[in-house]
Each structure stands twice: as C-alpha cells, then as structure tokens.
Homo-oligomer: A and B are copies of this chain.
C-alpha cells in the first residue's frame, strides 16, 4: 500500500508543478506560495520531498556546488496525475488559529494595556501580511512573477488574501478604538451598548436560514488529509 498523501504533500506537489526547485528554495520560497494559507514547518518540507520522490511523484536530481550536494526536484507525470485525482476529492474546510480571540475572552483577568498590546500586535501582523500581498500584486502588474502566465488564476487568490486581511485589519482597528474608549475592563455599563452593536451585525444567510437540515457535526472537522 502506498502511504497516504496529506494536503501538505499536495501543497508541495503544486509548488513543484510550477517549475523545479531545490529543497532549500522550496522551503524558503514557500513564503511566496503557501506560507499564509498552508503554513508548515521547514523540516516537514524536507521530509515531504523525500517521501514524494520515493513514491515516484517527484524526480530528484543531485547537483554539485563545489563539495556540497543539493537536490533539485521536478514533478513527474505520476505526480501530476496524483494532483489531478486529488482535485476530485472533497476539500477540507477553511480553518484558522487565532489566539488573540481566546485572550480577548479572558482579557478582564489582565489589564487594559495587555489586551491593547495584543490587538496592536494583530494589527501589525496583518499590516505586514498586507505589505507582502502588495508585493505580490505589484509583481504581477510589472509582469515579472514566476507564475505570470497564470495571473487569471492567481488573481483570484490575491483577491482572497487581500480581502481577508483588510477585514481582519479593520476589525483590529475598530476593536482597538472601542477598548481604548473604555475606562477599564469591567462590564460596568458596557453591556447595553454591546447589545446594540451585536444587533447590527449582518448575518445575511437568506436561504440557508430558511430551511437547510444541516446535520450537527459532532466530529471536529478534519484539518488536513
């Protein structure tokens, strides 16, 4: 039995499908590809290319720079076939890790300053990610991207990335402003105002709210596969 491929496997395959890379480049350049949508440890990449090449999905070529070897991987027909088959399987849902929200829940245990610091950090992280998104955008506009011939696809992803980050950034800003306007972190007199705000939140799910017998998911959704 062939060992099971994970989404990480397919992410690596997808990146090598663009053009051949050495493992080192692959691990570094993931930044330009999947760091923000499928973040995995560097060592996982090194492990993965070996597995994939032992399964014949990647083709590893040893090159020499002086006395030091490096392996350059390219995708095989079998690898492309594996990707093709994967596209027919169910996708795993959007998932996030957002520690700041957990901190928000217990914020009243700490100081106002602490939660402000946390949210400022979130805002700055988002700015940094957006800066990167702007870079990618500019590369496409300048026509110098490695995937220039695929703009019509990549544009959809850049759209996603920038929209999402703008949303998170805007939330961080308004939440920061709200908390700054408080005297302290106690509930005193804040709950009425909060209910007003919560009432205005747009949960616009016209159809699905009407009648969709969604089975209650008892299982946590699978994050990888």
- Hey, which bits of chain A sit against chain B, CB under 8 A? 7, 10-11, 13-14, 17, 28, 30, 33-42, 80, 83-84, 86-88, 90-111, 114-115, 118, 121-122, 125-128, 130-131, 133-134, 137, 140-141, 149-160, 162-164, 166-168, 170-171, 174-175, 178-179, 187, 190-191, 193-195, 197-199, 201-205, 207-209, 212, 214, 218, 220-221, 223-224
Q: Is the CB of A96 within 8 A of B97?
A: yes
A130 to chain B, nearest CB (A): 5
Q: Is the CB of B39 within 8 A of A223?
A: yes
Chain A interface, DSSP helix/strand/loop, else mixed: helix
Q: Which of B198, B203, B208 contacts A155 (CB 8 A)?
A: B198
Q: List 10 additional contacts besides A37-B98, A91-B100, A160-B171; criterion CB under 8 Å.
A: A7-B97, A41-B220, A87-B109, A90-B121, A92-B97, A104-B153, A104-B156, A133-B203, A156-B178, A164-B167
Q: Is the CB of B106 within 8 A of A91?
A: no
Can you spell out 10 A-B residue pairs with CB atoms less than 8 angstroms apart?
A: A34-B102, A35-B220, A88-B110, A94-B122, A134-B209, A140-B198, A152-B191, A156-B175, A159-B201, A164-B168
